[in-house]
Amino acid sequence: MIRQHRVSYPFDELFINKQLKAGEEVIVQFSEESYNDRVLSHLNELCSRCDKNFAIRFYGHYSGAFDFNTLLKIANVKSLYVDCLTKAENVKALEQLQYLEKLSLGVFELKETEIFNSPNLKRLSALIIAETRTKALNLEYLKDYKDLKFLIIGAHNKNINAVGELSSLEYLSLNSLKKTIVAFVNKLKKLKTLKFILGGRENIHEIEENEIQNLEVVWIRGFNDLSNISNFRKLKTLLIEDNIQLPGIHFNKELLYLEDLKILNCKTLNSLTGLENLPSLKQLRIYKTDLDFGKLINQNLPKALKTFAFYTSKQKVDNEIKQILEGKGYTDGLPST
């Protein structure tokens, strides 16, 4: 993920050019109808000169519905965020934006359930679909998004198997999905990052051996089993957070590339074994679990491990543990105060 800078209008154009030249993303955003034709014309001219790292965002607009016809005045826009909106009108104007490469769409009262059948959207390289009131938003058309590399889906699963046809996809975040079968992930041979955030499921057993490098499982209701973790043989980073029914994580096979492991706020997790099977592990961060630190520190830990932080949320205990870890040559990886 590249670094983002969010700015309001008017802005320092020299600052924007500097950040864009550094390969970072600049988002000019409006939370209400504070723009006019002159402002939009200026933005449109900048859009024509800049690449997709120069983005325009419309959000909020709580005093009424956002009019998508506004977008026709920034027809050169390549990166567009129209999200965190309650109501909108003339949404089909989106179909006329011929230069779009990145889109974040989030209108809670969205009525246009077939919007992703628009030819111009099928050329996107990045797409974020936020939650809406309707559950009928049709994902079937995603099968034709052959250039899509980045996808976030929030709470939509109608025809979600179409995602399995995205041969170029590298990043996938499935948010707020409830017990949706995700076997389609096995078809995504270029996928490098997979995230499950919110929603509910007991496990991810349907995911077979893969080339995924980054895996996150965060705040999943009912999640209690990560026994197929060895299928993620190319894993480099693993984040397990806010999963209160997960009893343990066991690395029973070597994961040769795993460098960063974080287990955060998994309050019933009382077993973590097989760390010796993670020869490349450099960072281990553990926060608010039921793990016994004494047993953990006496395991055969990877020689590559340099950053080891273990927190219980009890200050006195945490200070004692930190001293023990420092005495063994580990750092907590946090900046000195």
CATH number of the domain where residue 92 is located? 3.80.10.10
Structurally, how many domains does the chain consist of? Answer: 1
**229 touches 251 (CB < 8 A):** yes
Does 231 reside within a domain?
yes
Residue 136 has pLDDT above 70, yes or no: yes
pLDDT of residue 334: 84
* Angle subtended at Cα 40 by Cα 38 and Cα 43, rounded to the nearest 5 degrees: 110
CA distances from 183 to 74, 180, 206, 284 (A): 39, 9, 5, 29
Range of the domain at 167: 60-308
Q: Does residue 36 form part of some domain?
A: no
Q: Is the peptide bond before 10 cis (omega within 30 degrees of 0)?
A: yes
Q: What are phi and psi of 320, to 5 degrees?
A: -65, -40
268 domain-assigned: yes
Predicted pLDDT of residue 335: 77
247 domain residue, yes or no? yes
SS3 call for 77: coil
Task: Give me the pLDDT at residue 1, please.
Answer: 73
pTM: 0.97
The predicted-structure confidence for 181-230, as pLDDT tens digits, reads as follows: 999 999 999 999 999 999 999 999 999 999 999 999 999 999 999 999 99
| pLDDT per position as a tens digit, 239-251 | 999 999 999 999 9
Integer Cα distance of 291 and 302 in angstroms: 18
Residue 126 located in a structural domain: yes
Is the pLDDT reported for residue 281 higher than 70? yes
